[in-house]
Amino acid sequence: MQREAAPCCAEEERRLAKLEQALLRTFWQSLGNDPLPPMAALEAAARVVGTLYAQVARAHEGPNGCRCGWEPDADSDLIVLEANLAAALLAPERVPDLARMPAAGRA
């Protein structure tokens, strides 16, 4: 089982934080524009993560696939994804709450 390496540097941490913020912002903006019951919204987000995994896995298959070295393994990758979900539920909030973030500009 090949595991993804932990972020190696401040630049990678910054890029990960930027991605997480973009995902959070999009999720909350979507719900603000078209509210859903909380579990329905979270189930949709989980399906999207599954879809993203499948797309990334396909991009790494075959002779024309990505050459980064990652080899998709749905069983072990699912365990890693589940562990990250559990860690996020049990850990103190790591990503700032968008409702409490200062405005970055004016529209």
More confident: 78 or 9: 78
Within 10 angstroms of residue 77's Cβ, the number of other Cβ atoms is: 19
**Contact in structure between 70 and 2 (CB atoms under 8 Å):** yes
Which pLDDT score is estimated for 91? 84
Which pLDDT score is estimated for 94? 59
More confident: 16 or 106: 16
**Contact in structure between 51 and 81 (CB atoms under 8 Å):** no
Q: Please report which confidence band the pLDDT of residue 106 belongs to, taking 50, 70 and 90 as the band edges.
A: confident
**Contact in structure between 25 and 98 (CB atoms under 8 Å):** yes
For residue 49, pLDDT over 70 is answered with yes
Q: pTM above 0.85?
A: no
Of 68, 44, 46, the C-alpha closest to 57 is 68
Query: In angstroms, rounded to a whole number, what is the distance separating the alpha carbons of residues 30 and 46?
Result: 15
